Chain A
């Protein structure tokens, strides 16, 4: 049995919440790339992973969303690419202590193929390098996430597959009138089919404009593929209250969507921007009784 099969054999799987917002709360400077903390503040990064495992996460990610060479170059950190990724995987592995699986995060390059800002070969090489370093650091699986461009996501899947680890792939649906398209106009059906044919073992949606809309996205992806579905939504959009930017959705409100997500076919459920350990705890509670130990 693969790791994916083992995980879902027991029922729906609780993943984790956001890392970025948790690191900012621990003192990360908004001007710094969160991934750099894998080298400078590994203890605080580990704390985030540990908090999720304690809250009930069966899968935790890594603090490596932006740690591909193309993105790190914008921060003058290209030469640290391998080191940041190896450290990121190792930190999450320590935080998991064998109680959770580590799905290592690979995010978009921040460059648009359609604008000619980067080539397909450059992307493949950047993702291959990151995937390899994450595998060396001890990741159990790789997660291609927060993707807006199907072509870039497919390149990342192919690059990740070179490690022989299972690969999950997740896109952002936040565009169009119904907020059910990617920035590039891709529908959930088309994304599910294309990610599957690129070789993903799990497909899904993350980030976006809130969990309510992801119920429909989940249902449509589930109808278009036989692969397990991964959903990790935002706690809505941030609002400006008393001079501060905050997310208003509570953990209980967020978790109230869990039954609908299960009914829509979700196998992996977690949170994205604005969610923390209390959200994971609420999701785990909502899944109570649906999992066999």
Chain B
């Protein structure tokens, strides 16, 4: 079997083609798919997140790593599903009503996917009703709300209220992110958690699920 530390490096360095080739090679050589994820791929993403926190990595490096991870995971996921393995968690994500910015939301989606979460992206300018419908249909563990504009921040408590009114609030954890948002504000308006950036999203999501 090839040297699997190379797979770790390929993901950490954001080499998508290389990561896919190494994953394919490892699987053909009989490697256990779950083992590849837990011992090499996920730790590489964790390291990328740490480097982001330490400012060795910025958004471009982080995103290249997430894309390499995503590419490798596409080979592995069908095998995991076939073996009955569950994703790390199910996420419904969207930019709140009135706001059509999607860079932050897309970055968080990529990081969560790279972290092994199953992500359903509702897009931008998502109404509270659409969030309610998605929670009802998909039974996610987490609902992630993104807002960039100060004028659309109020859509966050409105969406949370809509989940309450639909009797769904207790079934999910609500996480909030976006440039004008602070943790204090997020908790004040009734969210369960706040992520300061895309790298923070994965550990936050894991913490939230561990608490359930």
- Chain A residues within CB distance 8 Å of chain B: 21, 24, 29-31, 33, 74-75, 110-112, 114-115, 117, 174-177, 181, 183-185, 237-240, 245, 273
- Contact residues of B between 169 and 198, Cβ < 8 Å to A: 179-180, 182, 184-185, 188-189
Q: Which residues of B contact A239 (CB under 8 A)?
A: 185
Task: Given A114-B60, A115-B106, A181-B55, check contact A238 B98 (CB 8 Å).
Answer: no
Task: Given A30-B149, A238-B180, check contact A115 B101 (CB 8 Å).
Answer: no
Nearest CB of B to A69, in Å: 15
The reply to whether B151 and A24 contact each other, CB–CB distance below 8 Å, is yes
Q: What band does the interface of chain B fall in when counting residues whose beta carbon is under 8 Å from A?
A: 20 to 34
- Chain B residues within CB distance 8 Å of chain A: 55, 57-61, 63-64, 67, 97-103, 106, 110, 124-125, 149-154, 179-180, 182, 184-185, 188-189
Nearest CB of A to B17, in Å: 14
The reply to whether A245 and B153 contact each other, CB–CB distance below 8 Å, is yes
The answer for the CA separation of A175 and B62 in the assembled complex, in Å, is 14
The answer for the CA separation of A33 and B151 in the assembled complex, in Å, is 12
- Looking at chain B's contact residues, the main secondary structure is loop
Closest to B58 in A: A185
The reply to whether B180 and A183 contact each other, CB–CB distance below 8 Å, is no
- Looking at chain A's contact residues, the main secondary structure is loop
Taking a contact as CB atoms closer than 8 A, the residue among B59, B97, B100, B184 that contacts A185 in the complex is B59
Q: Which residues of B contact A31 (CB under 8 A)?
A: 97-98, 125, 152
The reply to whether B100 and A175 contact each other, CB–CB distance below 8 Å, is no
The reply to whether A184 and B59 contact each other, CB–CB distance below 8 Å, is yes
The reply to whether A74 and B58 contact each other, CB–CB distance below 8 Å, is no
The reply to whether B55 and A177 contact each other, CB–CB distance below 8 Å, is yes
The reply to whether B188 and A240 contact each other, CB–CB distance below 8 Å, is yes
Taking a contact as CB atoms closer than 8 A, the residue among B59, B61, B110 that contacts A183 in the complex is B59
Task: Given A24-B151, A110-B103, check contact A237 B180 (CB 8 Å).
Answer: yes
Task: Given A110-B101, A240-B185, check contact A30 B152 (CB 8 Å).
Answer: yes
Taking a contact as CB atoms closer than 8 A, the residue among B55, B59, B98, B179 that contacts A114 in the complex is B59
Q: Which residues of A contact B149 (CB under 8 A)?
A: 30
Q: Which residues of B contact A245 (CB under 8 A)?
A: 150-151, 153-154, 180
9 A–B contacts from the bound complex (CB under 8 Å): A30-B99, A74-B100, A112-B103, A114-B59, A115-B106, A174-B179, A237-B182, A240-B185, A240-B189
Q: Which residues of A contact B101 (CB under 8 A)?
A: 110
Q: Which residues of A contact B64 (CB under 8 A)?
A: 114
Nearest CB of A to B70, in Å: 11
Q: Which residues of B contact A110 (CB under 8 A)?
A: 100-103
Closest to A151 in B: B60
